[in-house]
Structure 1
């Protein structure tokens, strides 16, 4: 008889198998996950419309609102990135000349070209820009599949809620799941509202800075920052690095690149670390470590779509954990809130009593 192994080893193996399954099933699970997330956002619209209009009218109106919002976001991202990619393709010769100029400058300090690795070729940037354009075309098919799931979900969400309510009369776990889903949906709507407000403000600030400094594609950088700001950490970093690289190519000086980088970082820090926490409040408080882990884990499993959906999935999972006594400690541990703040030194006397 073999001796059973430690429980943590089985858990680690199970987690690895689950991650592999999620990665392989991305073409199916990613549209479903985004559809469930979209349902949580648009269901209040459907419910209010059904209270005033027949169901066969309320559903098309809800779908139209959803389609306009998703199409607007996708078109904004496609427009900004495609304009930047076309700029690279159109200015390929200038980029190659810029590279040769800087290479000659380095050789003046005794740094040979072969010390920098493989030589830079403009066609690599052109290939990268064309790859970005192809990826943007794939977004259309992804949205189409997702919308099919959203339509079917809107038709069944009321029935599913009633079934959980009926089961909750005899099974408390079903009632807890229903409460967790409702509370999680409310949190997700608040989360997206805050992200949208901050995305708009960040996009406007970056557009204003780029226009004031004469950086090419100023409006495009603002739109790209607006879209990327929906992805915590990674999106903000890309929205900073891309204009910085273009500042190097356009102005040709490290001072311009450093100024651009520091200014954009200041904008991102002000919005992400000062304004956004005040808007979100304690209701959406999640450990920053877990937010970063959710973003990178989602990116590892599903790429950019996973980086976007990682934090909403974390918020919903923690909300469900709060509904069950056995898992409530997980939600408290990962909330980032101090359960028992230390007493103030000014409020206690020398012997620990209040003065």
Structure 2
């Protein structure tokens, strides 16, 4: 490598580390801003369509009203499903205690001590801290969404002006690349949410059908929960299989039934996520599975639940922008999906 290449690589590494540190320590600023940009990319075509037929402020009011209503409906479904299931889990706490005692006794008989370790890490003060964190999270979530919606309103009002400024203050080539990358990113975001929504509906319907056929309580609620959590790659589907398994343990009182529920739900998640969804999204959203997994866990570490949801779109945006600059196109090629059949690596290399 030449000294110039080493310098550029070093600068790139420092920029990435600095950006990650800023995202972590200033999450209250960057997390709602990033989510707002994602929402703007999703609703901007509808906003443009309305602006061509009505005054700009009326179009903005309609767009924001529909956006907020969609969020409220989604949140209401999630709260309804989890509250119904949560009350059942609390009501069956004695059964879970009996299952826990039996499991501890079986492990103790085989030389594995669990009770001592549990007593060290579980106490009343831990429970109180957990309750305080949940309460604080509710308040933080409300503030987060208010800030996000303010960003969305201001952003929708400034999209066209921002594009004009890019053409005015950047060179034609840079402006063309930036505008083109932004447009392609918006298209990919909308495709991503379209595919994710269809797959979430399919997952929810299959989970409901399986739960109803197996006689599992709250079949509709499990379908709703699976639908909602499927928007969070990897983590959401796993959680959507754990909770029904816990209920099956109390309802059927056999580990074989609980294991069967867990295996069948994971088969549904695997078929939808690993077979159907890639064929629905095609090459438009082709990203290496390892990169997707890293994105989910990396942004979850930085921003928690919001990072788990927005991590993959952030990666899509970053790779799309890399595609539009010759100097960084190799990054998009390297971290993208697998090469099509019959295509040799040399055929995709940048000149």
Instruction: Give the TM-score of the pair, scaled to structure 1.
Output: 0.85
1:85–1:130: 8 Å Cα contact kept in structure 2? no
Structure 2: where are the runs of 5+ without partners? 1-5, 345-351
Partner SS, residue 326 of structure 1? helix
Which residue matches 2:275?
274
Indicate the residue corresponding to 1:153 in structure 2: 155
Give, in whole Å, the separation in 1 of the partners of 2:227 and 2:306: 16
The aligned counterpart of 1:117 is 117
After superposition, where does 1:133-212 map in structure 2 within 5 Å? 135-136=137-138, 138-167=140-169, 170-212=171-213
Provide the rounded CA distance (Å) in 2 between the counterparts of 1:248 and 1:35. Answer: 41
Deviations 1:156-181 (A, max 9, x none): 1111122223346x431122101100
CA contact (8 A) 1:184 1:319 kept: yes
Partner of 1:297: 298
How much does 1:57 deviate? Answer: 1.2
1:33 equivalent in alignment to 2:3? no
Cα deviation code 1:290-312 (max 9, x no counterpart)? 11111111111111111111110
Work out whether residues 283 and 337 of structure 2, in 8 Å CA contact, stay in contact via their aligned partners in 1.
Answer: no
Q: After superposition, what is the alpha-carbon deviation per residue over 1:94-144, rounded to whole angstroms, capped at 9, x for unaligned?
A: 33233334445556x455765673259797889868966764564333222
Q: Is the 8 A contact 1:31 1:146 kept in 2?
A: yes
CA contact (8 A) 1:167 1:175 kept: no
Cα deviation for residue 248 of structure 1 reads 1.9
Unaligned runs of 5+ in 1: 1-5, 344-355
Structure 1 residue aligned with 2:347: none
Deviation of the 1:68 alpha carbon: 1.2
Secondary structure of 2:326 counterpart: coil
C-alpha RMSD of matched pairs (Å): 2.8
Count how many residue pairs are aligned between Structure 1 and Structure 2.
336
For the 8 Å contact 1:95–1:122, the answer to whether it is kept is no
More deviation, 285-294/332-341: 332-341
More helix by share: 2
CA deviation profile, 1:262-291 (whole Å, cap 9, x unmatched):
101110111011111111011111111111
Work out the CA distance in 1 between the residues paired with 2:114 and 2:180. Answer: 63
- Indicate whether 1:256 and 2:253 are aligned: no
- In the TM superposition, residue 155 of structure 1 has moved relative to its aligned partner by 0.7
Partner of residue 325, structure 1: 326
1:146 to partner: Cα distance: 0.7
Kept in 2: contact 1:199–1:227 (CA 8 A): yes
Q: Tell me the secondary structure at the aligned position of residue 230 of structure 1.
A: coil
* Paired position in structure 2 for 1:94: 95
Partner of residue 58, structure 2: 57
Question: For residues 328 and 121 of structure 1, do their structure 2 counterparts lie closer, same or farther at Cα, with a shift above 3 Å needed?
Answer: closer
CA contact (8 A) 2:200 2:227 kept: yes
Deviation at 1:80, TM superposition (A): 2.2
Which has the larger Rg?
1
For residues 267 and 311 of structure 2, the distance between their equivalents in structure 1, rounded to whole angstroms, comes to 25
Using the alignment, how far apart are the partners of 2:129 and 2:82 within structure 1? 14
Aligned equivalents of 2:130, 2:251: Cα separation in 1 = 19
Hey, what's the Cα distance between the residues in 1 that align with 2:134 and 2:269?
A: 24
Aligned residue for 1:72? 73
Structure 1 residues 235 and 206: alpha-carbon distance in aligned structure 2, compared to 1, 3 A threshold: same
